[in-house]
Amino acid sequence: MKRKILMSIMLFSALAMFGSTIYAATFLNYGYPSSTIPIRPYNYTSTWQAPMDASIANWNNAGAKVQFTKSTNSPNTITAGNFNNTAYGVNYASVSGSQVVSFRIELNASTISADATNLSNFIQSVFVHELGHSVWLGDNPTTSSPSIMSYTRNRNSMTKPQTFDINNVRSRY
């Protein structure tokens, strides 16, 4: 009996020490089924195109085991424009079971432009965040670690997935 209790305490302690980063994640109940995620090519002025392309590179180079690729056949679309809501960006996902079948990301130029002190960084922060929803990440994880998924992040300076985000995506793929 004492041995079972001791083993339980040791197991719980190990999980608490080494699993806390993953445990604190806020996951969606769905994500893209493959670690290669196609998106339809988009074409905007360089003010928007360059930071949007950088956002894809930020995920692809993060070591999160996911790759966003451009494909004309993709059902996944990205649109930057003026939308009638107060959000900086929204990811509308079509889901079947636990799998994203397709998604549509809208980047709201009116709200982003109104609040950005560094427009390029702000666009990247919002787009990287919205792409995170495609790979299982939910908003506002319970963590003191920096996270691109946190609403309180500085969008003018945080433009890449953080270690916390990367580790949580890696746990899903």
pLDDT digits (tens, 9 = 90+) for 99-128: 999 999 999 999 999 999 999 999 999 999
User: Beta-carbon neighbour count of residue 139 at 10 Å?
Assistant: 13
Diameter over CA atoms, the chain:
69
Q: What is the pLDDT of residue 12?
A: 33
pTM of the model: 0.86
Tell me the pairing of strands 89-96 and 99-108.
antiparallel
Q: What is the pLDDT of residue 18?
A: 39
Q: What is the pLDDT of residue 163?
A: 97
Q: What is the pLDDT of residue 64?
A: 98
Per-residue pLDDT tens for 75-101? 999 999 999 999 999 999 999 999 999
Tell me the pairing of strands 36-39 and 67-70.
parallel
Query: Which residues, including other chains, have CB under 8 Å from residue 76's CB and lie 6 or more apart?
Result: 37, 38, 39, 40, 102, 103, 104, 105, 134
What is the rounded CA–CA span in Å between residue 30 and residue 41?
Answer: 24
Q: What is the pLDDT of residue 162?
A: 98
User: Beta-carbon neighbour count of residue 69 at 10 Å?
Assistant: 11
DSSP letters, 102-136, are: EEEEEEEHHHHHHH-SSHHHHHHHHHHHHHHHHTT
Q: What is the pLDDT of residue 119?
A: 98
142 burial via Cβ count (<10 Å: 0-12, 13-18, 19+): exposed
Residue 158 has pLDDT above 80, yes or no: yes
Q: Which residues in 108-122 are b (16+ Cβ under 10 Å) and which e?
A: bbebbeeebeebbbb
Per-residue pLDDT tens for 7-59? 333 333 333 333 444 447 799 999 999 999 999 999 999 999 999 999 999 99
Q: What is the pLDDT of residue 97?
A: 96
Q: What is the pLDDT of residue 25?
A: 78
